[in-house]
Amino acid sequence: MRVMIMDVITDDLTRLGERLEILEHRVYALEHPAEEASLLPEKAERPPAASVATNEPQFEQTAGMFSVLGKAMLGIAGAYVLRAIAESGSLPKLAVVVTAIAYAGIWLIWAARLPAEALFARTTFAITSALILAPMLWELTLRFNVLPAWATAAVLAAFVMGASFLAWKHNLESVFWIANVTVVLESLALLMATHNMVPFIWALLITAMIAEFAAARGRNLGVRALVALAADLAICALIYIYYDPTNVPSNYSAFPATALLAPGIVLLLIYAASDAFQTSILHRPISFFETGQAVIAFLLAALSVLRFGSSVGGPVLGAFCLLFAAAGYTAVFIYFDRSPEQRNYHVYATGSAALLVAGSYMILPSPWLALCLAFIAILATFGGVRTLHLTLEFHGLIYMAAAAFASGLLNYVYRALVGNFPAAPSLTVWMVVVSSILCYAGADRYPGDEWKQRVIHVVAATFAVGGTAALLIFALMRISEAITTTGPHLIAFIRTLTICSVALALAYCGSRWQRKELAWIAYATLIFVAAKLLFEDLRHGQLVFIAASIFLFAVTLILVPRLIRPGQRSFQQ
């Protein structure tokens, strides 16, 4: 035993001597720097007790984590002390409320003032602040009835604003995330528990505004989706519950129409302004989240205006749609037209077209709606050809389709070709058919995007051909009614005669003017005539008219390929 003790003492003395020697040489090196390299002994180059030193950082890190957790537990204990004081009533509840909010704020400030390398401590203290504030607000609002709903919502908004301010300078992402998650969850829970939805929706809107501002400055981009989802769900719940004023549950607070209308509009303004700033000023490509959220915000705003905006809600919404469409087209051709990144161009252009159609439907009466849309279709088509913008031609096609639907042309063509024969077409139908012919005739070809141009030309030609065929069938029916009595057999024959004639005309014009899409439609027309013979002529026709229809179809089958063949070489070129 004595030998062992002596060995241990000897080792300790040896290490102590080595350390003293190293210290002597360090002092000497400081006093004589020129002789440091030559006089420093070899033993000084070897760090002593390396095995003991390597364990010190790990031990200190573990001890620091336990220390941080201990401080956090003390903070939670302090919150329980405040809760006990509030429950006992020994102090005024308002004083307890102010103390509790200040207590949670102190922990948040402590978390934000920690150095950058103290990530664990900063996150823990921020979570402690949230765990102090959220349950305390819940009980002060629901159990003790000290805070009204608007005051609790104001505290939540102040909490997220304060956290954002503290986290901004050093980009403390953990503090920002914890504050946003706390406000989102607490607001959603309280708006359903208190049945007082509007104040907490405003807290979510303020949080969304802060998140979008941070995103515009390149900070904390990930939390935007969570905040946006919470705001969307809250406004959806608001619209659902208050959609029918006569069926609102009695335990929900009553609000005026303006209070129910405002959240949806503010949500749209927040995300529209954010997207416009980031794409037009910062020249960033719009993301899929931003595009989808803008669409959702617009739909929620539209529902809010149509439901809570009284009788003028529809026209006002339509006017705003037209205003946004004009702004979108302006941004397309000023900011995004020549940009190498074309996502913004296509997103804004598509959104502008949809807004223009929606706004026109909300403002204009039916006859003027179709005429205006047809006129806009002509302008878009010729403008696209003149400026070499294929997108404008595509929009012209969209406007023409909307005009055909608004005028009843689509229904008229269906009834003229296969349904019960319609009455005389209105002037609006005639004007839309003429407009569709002009749009197709004005569509031109230019280098690039050949298949997209083909799609536009095929669809435009289909509108023009369908409308023209329907009007020809109507004209022939009126002529036949003046000569003889009409019946199903005569109607079936007139339809076959007209469609076969249209197929021959399409084949000739496609070959003559090198319009390949007309040849495609001619072949599609032959398939349609074959189906028509089977389902209409053979069922409703007389033998003479059946024979005549089959003869016409046979002649058309023979002549269409022969008329197209001379232009096939041009098509291939």
Q: Is the pLDDT of residue 3 over 90?
A: no
For the stretch 68-121, pLDDT in tens is: 888 888 888 888 888 788 777 777 877 878 888 899 999 988 888 888 778 888
Q: For residue 4, what pLDDT is reported?
A: 45
d(CA 342, CA 549): 52
- Please count the CA atoms within 13 angstroms of the CA of 177 that sit on its side-chain side: 12
pLDDT band (50, 70, 90) for residue 54? very low
SS (H, E, C) 451-481: HHHHHHHHHHHHHHHHHHHHHHHHHHHHHHH
Average pLDDT, the chain: 84
Q: Is the pLDDT of residue 366 over 70?
A: yes
Q: Is the pLDDT of residue 8 over 60?
A: no
Mean pLDDT of the 144-159 span: 92
d(CA 362, CA 319): 8
pLDDT band (50, 70, 90) for residue 275? very high
Q: For residue 245, what pLDDT is reported?
A: 82
20 vs 149 pLDDT, higher one: 149
Residue 485 DSSP label: -
Mean pLDDT of the 542-570 span: 84
Does residue 230 contact residue 221 with C-beta atoms inside 8 Å? no
Number of Cβ within 10 Å of residue 321's Cβ equals: 23
Q: For residue 2, what pLDDT is reported?
A: 43
Q: Is the pLDDT of residue 145 over 90?
A: no
Does residue 93 contact residue 146 with C-beta atoms inside 8 Å? yes
d(CA 348, CA 353): 9
Closest-CA residue to 431 (of 408, 453, 458, 451): 408
For the stretch 289-342, pLDDT in tens is: 999 999 999 999 999 998 888 777 888 899 999 999 999 999 888 888 877 778
Q: Is the pLDDT of residue 427 over 70?
A: yes
pLDDT band (50, 70, 90) for residue 253? confident
Mean pLDDT of the 364-373 span: 90
- Please count the CA atoms within 13 angstroms of the CA of 472 that sit on its side-chain side: 16
Residue 410's Cα: distance from chain center in Å? Answer: 31
Burial grade of 95 (CB within 10 A; 0-12, 13-18, 19 or more): exposed
Q: For residue 45, what pLDDT is reported?
A: 46
Closest-CA residue to 126 (of 190, 75, 201, 193): 75
**Long-range own/partner contacts, residues 499-503 (CB < 8 A, 24 or more apart):** 499/417, 499/469, 499/525, 499/528, 499/529, 499/532, 500/529, 500/552, 500/553, 500/555, 500/556, 501/472, 502/465, 502/468, 502/469, 502/472, 503/529, 503/556, 503/560
Q: Is the pLDDT of residue 523 over 50?
A: yes
Closest-CA residue to 465 (of 503, 430, 495, 496): 503
Closest-CA residue to 336 (of 283, 381, 387, 384): 283
Does residue 186 contact residue 230 with C-beta atoms inside 8 Å? no
Distances (CA, A) of 300 to 177, 181, 307, 361, 489: 26, 23, 11, 18, 53
- In sequence order, which ranges of 388-449 are alpha helices (DSSP H)? 390-407, 409-417, 427-442
Number of Cβ within 10 Å of residue 99's Cβ equals: 14
Query: Which value, to the nearest 10 degrees, does the dihedral of the CA atoms of residues 64, 66, 68, 74 take?
Result: -150
Share of the chain above pLDDT 70, in %: 86
Share of the chain above pLDDT 90, in %: 43
pTM above 0.95, yes or no: no
d(CA 205, CA 235): 10
Q: What would the DSSP string read from start to end of 492-559? A: HHHHHHHHHHHHHHHHHHHHHTT-HHHHHHHHHHHHHHHHHIIIIIHHH--HHHHHHHHHHHHHHHHH
- In sequence order, which ranges of 333-408 are alpha helices (DSSP H)? 343-363, 366-387, 390-407
